[in-house]
Amino acid sequence: MFFIVLLISVVPAYLLGSVNGAIITSKYLYRKDIRNYGSGNPGLTNFYRVFGKGGSLLVILIDVLKTITPVIFGGWVFGRYTGMSLSEIWLFGRFFEVSLFGQTIAGFFVMLGHCFPVFYKFKGGKGVMAAGAILLFLDWRLSLISWGAFIVMAALTRFVSLSALVGAAVFPTVQLILGIGGFWEITASFMCAILVVVRHEGNIRRLIKGEEPRFSFRRR
């Protein structure tokens, strides 16, 4: 039963994760492909630098919806059929019992889809927006502390990549310290954080060399 529930949760999560808001918005709103502009990365930061804030709102909407839908579904399926690490979320005017592991593992596969999308030759973004959306539905403490670390670091340095790395590191570390979930839940969270770090390999090299561009609200 566990593996059946796992497949039901992660396969749709990966497929939905493969939908890229930046590519869709750039192609259908601006008639251009974001992968041919700026850094070539089909993520929110590069999209904003190229097209500005108007289309960026649509990118955020698409990427958040594609993330929270499988996260909620994965948590509900695991909660209903396995009973792993149950908690409650409020949705559609009522409370639902969900599994923290189900939410996190579904979120990880959304991130995999975002980073290696089957619809775009496995060349995608870096999973930061997906990771941030996942946090909103896991635990308010994890969300508050991880997002807080990201925002503070971004305000101090204006390095979005460094802020994402700090937020990713804080997420499973705080979960471990606070004891939110058990071994498998925390392992899944570390998997999400490691994926963000791996996808920022080039940014890490540029940060070390002092070549990483700082974020600006001005379009390039």
3-class secondary-structure state, position 107: helix
In this structure, are residues 30 and 51 in contact, taking their beta carbons and an 8 Å threshold? yes
Report how far residue 144's alpha carbon sits from residue 79's, in angstroms, rounded to the nearest whole number.
24
The confidence score (pLDDT) of residue 2 equals: 84
In this structure, are residues 7 and 74 in contact, taking their beta carbons and an 8 Å threshold? no
The confidence score (pLDDT) of residue 87 equals: 64
Report how far residue 127's alpha carbon sits from residue 47's, in angstroms, rounded to the nearest whole number.
14
Report how far residue 22's alpha carbon sits from residue 42's, in angstroms, rounded to the nearest whole number.
6
Report how far residue 109's alpha carbon sits from residue 100's, in angstroms, rounded to the nearest whole number.
14
* All structural domains of the chain with their residue ranges: 2-209
User: pLDDT tens track of the chain, all 220 residues?
Assistant: 788 999 999 999 999 999 998 999 999 988 999 989 888 888 888 888 888 888 889 998 998 899 999 999 999 898 888 776 566 565 555 556 788 999 999 999 999 999 999 998 898 888 888 888 888 888 889 999 999 999 999 999 989 899 999 999 999 999 999 998 889 999 999 999 999 999 999 999 999 988 888 876 555 5
The single-letter code of the amino acid at 72 is I
In this structure, are residues 187 and 114 in contact, taking their beta carbons and an 8 Å threshold? no
- Count CB neighbours of 191 within 10 A: 17
